[in-house]
Structure 1
């Protein structure tokens, strides 16, 4: 999944605080409109998926891409954030297309945040300002595995939890001016609604640190190793050819406050909810990042978040 770059959020208020239900304003809560969308068959795998809105907050709406044109809009946003404004290195084909795309896009669902108050694009559509890529367990198994498999060996973890359904989150990005509390809340409400509707058991994917020098990331990587590493039952290891040791400092040498400050907001947000970290990191030279594996069983998500998201979804269901 690569949750590449930490482009999801760089707001003034920390992502951990954003995710705390008690810090969500009453106005924001009542502004979210919830839907139980009808289903259509996914064009790649024939699995029923929702077609309409997953929620709305003011002018911002979170929904699934409905056709190839919607997917291209998400790809153009990813290109702008990752390549044009970020550190990713585009090959000739990517530069020519001006879209971040790969073979996984065809088998994924794409979560979009649309701004209905913004000036329409040349095509007459409201602009896509945020996106997440969602790869369902069944689609991955039918097409050679998850994107994350290219960096981490997931086979043992999936085999140990036969019968559970995994959802891969990836390619998260938001335009700079929209990197705020409202957009983050809306994206997470959309993801949670999707997880509930489709009865997924585990969320997985890669989350990224900027930079490709693990020595410069010794503090936060070591902090994650000592404090957030998944237990054996949920542990997946980076492939040997790409494995980067995360245990670079002794536990008693870690300044916890400094380590927390050094964590990207996206990773802090996942940890706050209840995520665990895999074994080893991986350097992604194309995107200029150092990636860690995120493993988030639904049963590990804090009760207050389950209650918060579920209550809001029910309260505003149409």
Structure 2
């Protein structure tokens, strides 16, 4: 199935075979492990047990067929199922158990490091928009990763998150992972707002622009050589003009 029917250079579709998932796992290994200095996998794939439970979206360059982006989606009927999500391994999410709308965990999002065209991200979000509309999804969530585990590198970004983008108290994730950086308790002061946005991962930046929010702490993952924050987006919070633009791309 294709996701988004407008003609253009990039096309999004669901995986159709095991070879599609293998290609996505290889791209994830390149982006999340080789490029970040993580622990290399013997088979050159980033794979886990969640892959079998997820829908996988692949975005190809129609000029040469290259896989340029991928992500996976774990649909949940509501917050009562959230403790079966990938994120629940790292965050205590009992507050979200009360959420009664359909949810999707969006994970393992990556863009090939050789690709810098912003249209790839637009097509990725347009595909997600179509899925959200087709399945009446009310909340997206997942983990947004910063490369490396040195919190000092991202103090400007963490300052901005603490100042402007913390989760509502009713949904706020609690600490579960053994190694975290509790940036909201650091009494930090934003140093450079421009630098903060430059340091923000592109996916997280898009979440925030659309009204998303984050946990008050980052999980330090030495195995993947990343730090990540829980990220949530209630669909009703997306500004109408941005929603219309995404739907226009989705077709």
Give the TM-score normalised by structure 1: 0.72
CA gap 1:294/1:287 in 2 versus in 1, 3 angstroms: same
Which of the residues 217, 220, 225 maps onto 1:283?
Answer: 220
Helix, strand or coil at the partner of 1:178: coil
CA gap 1:226/1:144 in 2 versus in 1, 3 angstroms: closer
Unaligned segments of structure 1, at least 5 residues: 1-50, 119-125
| In 2: Cα distance, 1:53 partner to 1:215 partner | 39
Which of the residues 166, 170, 176 maps onto 1:233?
Answer: 170
**Structure 2 counterpart of 1:109:** 55
| In 1: Cα distance, 2:245 partner to 2:154 partner | 34
| Aligned residue runs from structure 1 range 78-89, under 5 A | 78-89=28-39
After TM superposition, give the deviation of residue 139 of structure 1 in Å. 10
| Aligned residue runs from structure 1 range 62-211, under 5 A | 62-90=12-40, 94-95=41-42, 97-118=43-64, 126-138=65-77, 145-157=84-96, 159-161=97-99, 163-211=100-148
Q: Give the greater-gyration-radius structure (CA).
A: 1
| Aligned residue runs from structure 1 range 51-70, under 5 A | 51-70=1-20
Question: Does the CA-based 8 Å contact 1:55-1:63 persist in structure 2?
Answer: no
**Structure 2 counterpart of 1:243:** 180
Question: Does the CA-based 8 Å contact 2:80-2:98 persist in structure 1?
Answer: no
RMSD: 2.4
Paired residue total: 251
Q: Which protein, 1 or 2, shows the higher relative CO under an 8 Å CA cutoff with sep ≥ 6? A: 1
Q: What are the Cα deviations for residues 276-300 of structure 1, in whole angstroms up to 9, with x where unaligned? A: 1112110011211111111100011
After TM superposition, give the deviation of residue 232 of structure 1 in Å. 0.9
Give the TM-score normalised by structure 2: 0.89
CA gap 1:260/1:115 in 2 versus in 1, 3 angstroms: closer
Unaligned segments of structure 2, at least 5 residues: none
| In 2: Cα distance, 1:256 partner to 1:130 partner | 28
